[in-house]
Every structure is written in C-alpha cells, then in structure tokens.
Chains A and B, each alone.
Chain A
Amino acid sequence: MTHNMSVITVLNGGTQTTVQDAGRPGHRHLGIPRSGAADRLSFAIANHLVGNVWDAPALECALGGLHLRFEKDTTIALSGAQMWAQINGMNIDLNRAVGVEAGDILTLSYARAGCRSYIAVAGGIAATEFLGSVSTYLPAALGGIEGRALKAGDELDLAGDPSGPINAIPKGYIPFLSGHAVLRAGAGPEFDLLSACSRRYLFTTPFIATSATDRMGSRLRGDRIVTEADFAMTSSPLLPGTLQCPPDGQPILALADAHCTGGYARGLHVIQADQWLLGQIAPGMQISFRRCFAAEAPDILRTRNAMWGALIPDFSF
C-alpha cells in the first residue's frame, strides 16, 4: 500500500491521546508493563464497529479535547467514555460506525462519564512496534507515535487496508458508564495482613479517585486502609488490577501501565472480567469494591467471554 498523504491530521491532542492495541504481555520480568488499551472492551467495540480485528491499533483519548481532521474518506467509530463528539459541529453517535469525508473535522469535548474514548479507524492506525505491540508506554517512550501522546501537527497513517464490513453492536449490550464504578475483587496476597477495620472498609465504604490518576494507577481517597502491624515488605511482583496499600493509608489501584513490582501490601485484586472498567476511572469518580470469592470468578469470566466473544470474533477479557 502506498500513501501520498496521511489519513488524519491532529489539530489538538487533547488531554492525553495515545495509540494503543492489546498490549505487550509477557515482559513484566524485564520491567515492561503490558500497556495496551486501558479499557479493553470499549477498544474492541470501536474496532469491531469499523470492521477491524478487535485488537487493531486505535486512538485512546483520556478526558477529551481531541480534534482531528481527516484527509481521506474513511470510516470511524467511537466507544468508551461518554463524550460529546461532533463532526463539523454536528453531533455524532457513539458506538456506531460513521463515514467521514476528506476535510471533515472530528472534535471530542470532555468525558461526562468514564475517562477514555476509543477512536477506531477502518484499517487501524500505523505506529512504531516494540516487543510485538504498538501500544504507547509514555514513561519509557515505547511504541505509538515516537512513544508520546499525540500533539497538534501529527500526521497519522493507516496500518493496513480496511478489512471487514462495518458492524453493529445490538442495543442494550453497550456498557453504561456512570460516576460510580463497582469493581469485583478477590483477596490479594497480603489481604489477611490488613487490619480488621481496613478489611471491612474495603468492601463497605466508597473511595474517590484523586487527580493522581493516569494509565499507571489511581490513588484513591477514603477510609484509611492499613496493615495490622508495621511490616517491611521486600519488593515483589505486581499486576494491573491490584490495590496496593502503602503505610499512609491511601490505597493505589494499579492500571495498565502499572509498575511491575511493588513494596506495599497487595490488598485486593480486581477480577479479570472487570479489569476493563479500570480504564474508565476518571479523577473524582467514586469507586466501590465488591468481594468476589475465588470460586465465583471463573464463572463470571466465562459468561462474559461467551457473550462478548459471540459478538466480537476472538475477543476475550
């Protein structure tokens, strides 16, 4: 495929827009996080709508503000956070394939609910690969467009030719995002070391995501979560979805770009089926945890995988 010109010109990169795919798992022992779309489900929906494979590279826009100009006719779809999206000033639907023409300008306002919007383009976005993925990992400038967030003047190309026909997701399937995320979680390895009060608070009182929220993690504010006794932990491996509990009592929820090891008690671990929702945590959002016992989690995951896998080929949580 040859290109005479780019397909998209970035007019405004917004709060933080990066190229993401399904990430680069399997390298945490080297300190390389999985990265990838923080909300895997909305990312897959956007790709599916434009006829891409579910894990084609797409744009992830946190909190809004992204302005793009299309230089060629193409098909796009937006999914994820509830944002006003307009083309040439006219509102467009989220979660639906939309044809755009050369010269059209897409603008995203701010996220009314949720945090990240996924913008898929038929054919996928071309970006730099590192360890088998084009996912942008900002702290090490890996993947994406020069390893950084998009900025005005960037010109984006397609990764390939548009492959499949456009698709629709049946009414009622699209997840509804609100200002309150409920995450089902199992015990982390150090759960039993937390004080009795802390163990109760974790499942009974809501937390607020603070402004210290990004792709690495979200610092929560709420009742203090502390260990029963002081303990000096040796650094040990850490996974996305884990709630770390440092001595200051304000827990940190590890997200897609989270550190690969940590030295604080791992209190909870969000179940695999709910980890997509971590990507929609915006500053100021309320977060509640619901206890999910080890015996329940596999059934929840299988049910969710069966439902979404039937709609989006090869997708699983």
Chain B
Amino acid sequence: MTAITPLIRHYGDNAVLVEWDTAGFNATVSDQVHALAAQLRKTPIFTEVMPGYDSLVVSFDAEDLTLDEVTQQVKTALQADSDICVASESRLVEIPVSYGGAAGPDLAALAERIGKTPQEVIALHSDREYRVCMMGFIPGFAFLSEVDPVLQHPRHATPRAVVPAGSVGIANWQTGIYGLDSPGGWQIIGRTDLDMFDAKRDAPFLVEAGDRIRFVPQ
C-alpha cells in the first residue's frame, strides 16, 4: 500500500493534530503514525508526542514554539525517511478472557443487535490476532487493531461511571482492554484477570505498542 498524506490541524494554542483520512483500521497508516512519532522524538522540544490509530498529537510550550513552527517541523518529519518496523518481530501476548455475564455486561445485547449468538461473538472476537496500536486513555489501556466487521458497534451514548480494570470492549471497529477501573463508553463483552498496569512491577505495562495480542476464552 502507498503512504497517505495526512492533514495537519491546530489543536488549541499549544498542540498540533496530524490526521490520516482512513476508513476503519489501516496497517500502513498505523506504521506511518509510529514512524512519525519516532522521528519527532529525536528532538526533545515537545511536551508530549502521542500516537493514535490514524492520528498523532504533538503538544508543546507555546512560550517556546508557535503553531506554524511545529506544523513545519511535522511536515519535515513526515518527509524524512524513517523505516521503523512495528509488526515483524513483535511479541505475541495471550490474554485470558471471561466473556459475558458480570464480566461482559454488554455481550448479550450486542450479540442480539448484530443477529448473532453470544457464542458466535466470542468465537469471532477471539479468532484473530490483534496489534497493539496505541496505549493510552488511562495507564495500561491497550487500543487494538480492528475487529471482524460483523462485531462493529458504536459506544454507549453516555459513558458508564465505572468500567472495571481488565474489561475487554468494542467501540466501532476498535477493540481494547481497560487498564484500570475507569469511566468509559465501550461495549464491554468480557474481562481478563491479568493486571494490564502495575506501577510496582519492574515492567509496569503488560503490553506496549507494536505487540500482538490473542484473546483466549476462559
């Protein structure tokens, strides 16, 4: 696939958003996002370099840099040849999941709306390998690559006040794992007992961007 040229937009007075126009998940775009992040991190003048699925936000101190300067730096970084390989030598992490019931309160309703049985939803969700495209939202939250098109479902219109740590959810074509108890609007279909984030562990994060994940129904 050929590289897509992203849009660069102002995000308030101290950040710039780089956004690729793609419908659904696009592995080429995901590679471009992480290549740009790596390029921008070479100069430590930005406050945050935050890669997303098909977007990247770079924030800065507006005392030191202007929106125009940062826009120019992003353009230069996009042109720079950088070949980081996200997918080829990544780890595979298996995540045991209890689907449905109290662990997955939205499984039954989601299955009914898409005309499947809960068992079929579980089979479809656990039948493929996902890539960790971004970490974020809260510590340890893993945003994964796309689910089977049949499983795609919008978020709740009003987020839940508390979604328990380890919950596995669906939001449109995305699937992901909540790292901590947190408010959230995803359709929750299951939960893992693994701690996605533990500050006291030597490696606080169980997975990182670039890893591959497979869900194992319990």
Contact = CB atoms under 8 A, between A and B. Distances in A.
Contact of A31 (B10, B53, B62, B197): B197
B174 A234 contact: yes
Given A189-B19, A239-B57, A261-B143, A271 B199 contact: no
Interface string A10-27: 000000000000000110
The bracket for how many chain A residues form the interface is 35 or more
Contacts of B67: 294
Contact of B171 (A139, A235, A268, A294): A235
B13 A301 contact: yes
Which of A241, A263, A268, A298 is the most central at the interface, judged by chain B CB atoms within 10 Å of its CB? A263
A31 B207 CA distance: 12
Given A31-B138, A31-B197, A236 B57 contact: yes
B66 to A, nearest CB: 6
Nearest to B205: A30
A26 B10 CA distance: 20
A39 to B, nearest CB: 18
A261 B63 contact: no
A316 B60 CA distance: 13
Size class of B's contact patch?
Answer: 35 or more
B134 interface: yes
B139 A30 contact: yes
B108 interface: no
A305 B61 CA distance: 11
Interface string A237-271: 11101100011100000000001111100101111
A158 interface: no
A272 B157 contact: no
A29 B12 contact: no
Contacts, number: 164
A269 B12 contact: yes
Report which residue of A239, A242, A259 has the largest number of chain B beta carbons within 10 angstroms of its beta carbon: A239
Contacts of A187: 10, 12
Contacts of A234: 52-55, 172, 174
Interface string B44-61: 000111111111110101
A90 B174 CA distance: 58
A260 B50 contact: yes
A248 B174 CA distance: 21
Interface in A135-193: 139-142, 147, 185-189
Nearest to B159: A246
A268 B140 CA distance: 27
Contacts of A247: 157
B9 interface: yes
Given A30-B136, A31-B138, A260-B138, A248 B158 contact: yes
Interface stretch (B82-90, B92-100, B123-131, B177-185): B177-185
17 contacts: A29-B134, A29-B136, A30-B135, A31-B135, A31-B179, A142-B139, A235-B136, A235-B174, A236-B53, A237-B48, A239-B57, A242-B11, A246-B158, A259-B182, A272-B14, A297-B12, A316-B63
Interface of A: 25-26, 28-32, 130, 139-142, 147, 185-189, 216, 232, 234-239, 241-242, 246-248, 259-263, 266, 268-272, 292, 294, 297-298, 301-302, 305, 316-317
